[in-house]
Structure 1
């Protein structure tokens, strides 16, 4: 197993701007880095069994079953669009990004549901990890890679939360525009997820 290649490639995946990292950015702007990181622990709690499922080969289900992929995709897209519309409809003077988030439990639930609603997450684990796993030490390698992924995911969450907090301080007089941008981007992610196609298995 070559960690020198895995770690930078994995961290690049962790840092990819998507709905989960947008939540970390938004939560960081709303209530600070500690709040955002604590909420994101729910995301890590979802990713851990996803990694285990991929190790067991269950990730292939979303590859071979168009129905399963489509069901998860539609549910995930609907939830992202709902979050985005809720952000867009929030009055600037009530829950702007610079004000405290309503509830840590609600923020953690958002993190968990967004992670669950993205079918490509488990496909990443199923397609990316096996490239670095040795047949003779399959389970220990998968466990090590999974632990490294979760650690790097925590680093990415912190980076986005810091960026969100910095942006909130920089644009303290224009919070409603920051909020509108977050909501619009979340809706965009939902629409893009609806357009996503299930990956096909490579020909032997």
Structure 2
């Protein structure tokens, strides 16, 4: 793999990482409610899910999703249902005023699991890895090391992206510390997550 390939891959990949989506929206929401570090820690669940997807793509197992309509739709429905569940929790969330110097109690394991299941519940993500990463693979060379390098770069850029979205949430926290502001923000996130769930339900295999 040469430098010119990496120079093409990095900006294209980072554009995917920074694209607004359910996981990035969760980073904002978690940072707003629990703080920057908690949001970044929770993002490890997303990285774990993406690592598994990259491994599946590298080993060719993603072809199962491309050939099995049943498996694709089962994962899609479960993923959409989970997004709707999170949206409902945000819609009815406690909106009491919180001191901006204090951080509400949080269960980091629960937040990490939430990020993991949101990422894993989107079968299109595996298909993106299947379609995107191979474009930068040189078939004349050993494929496994190339997948490893590209996968590692993707995860590093994803980490930067989730930290960026968490920083956005941290700044929003200063604006939405009042009950009315928190309610508006939580319900806006709930609507956007519901919209993401709807889009997920309408996606088809390509």
What is the CA–CA distance in structure 2 between the aligned matches of 1:101 and 1:20, rounded to whole Å? 21
Does residue 23 in structure 1 map to residue 30 in structure 2?
Answer: no
Give secondary structure in 2 for the equivalent of 1:92.
Answer: coil
The C-alpha deviation readout for 1:5-55, integer Å capped at 9, x for no partner, is 100000000011110111111111112211111111111111112101101
Note if contact 1:30-1:101 (Cα within 8 Å) is conserved in structure 2.
no
Alignment CA distance shift 1:101-1:152 (3 Å): farther
Matches within 5 A, 1:135-154: 135=139, 136-154=141-159
Aligned residues: 198
Note if contact 1:62-1:119 (Cα within 8 Å) is conserved in structure 2.
yes
Aligned to 2:131: 127
Aligned to 1:162: 167
Query: Of 21, 42, 46, which aligns to 2:45?
Result: 42
What is the CA–CA distance in structure 2 between the aligned matches of 1:72 and 1:94, rounded to whole Å? 38
Report the CA distance between 1:137 and its aligned residue. Answer: 2.2
* CA-atom RMSD in angstroms: 1.7
The C-alpha deviation readout for 1:156-191, integer Å capped at 9, x for no partner, is 000000001111112332111111111111111111
Query: Of 69, 86, 89, which aligns to 2:89?
Result: 86
Aligned to 2:122: 118
Does residue 198 in structure 1 map to residue 189 in structure 2?
Answer: no
What is the CA–CA distance in structure 2 between the aligned matches of 1:102 and 1:36, rounded to whole Å? 10
Q: Which runs of 5+ in 1 are unaligned?
A: 200-204
Give secondary structure in 2 for the equivalent of 1:172.
Answer: coil
Report the CA distance between 1:87 and its aligned residue. Answer: 0.8
Note if contact 2:80-2:200 (Cα within 8 Å) is conserved in structure 1.
yes
TM-score by length of 2: 0.91
Report the CA distance between 1:65 and its aligned residue. Answer: 1.6
Aligned to 1:71: 74
What is the CA–CA distance in structure 2 between the aligned matches of 1:77 and 1:134, rounded to whole Å? 35
What is the CA–CA distance in structure 2 between the aligned matches of 1:40 and 1:72, rounded to whole Å? 21
Report the CA distance between 1:3 and its aligned residue. Answer: 0.5
Note if contact 1:85-1:184 (Cα within 8 Å) is conserved in structure 2.
no
Aligned to 1:107: 111
Q: Which runs of 5+ in 2 are unaligned?
A: none
What is the CA–CA distance in structure 2 between the aligned matches of 1:34 and 1:46, rounded to whole Å? 20
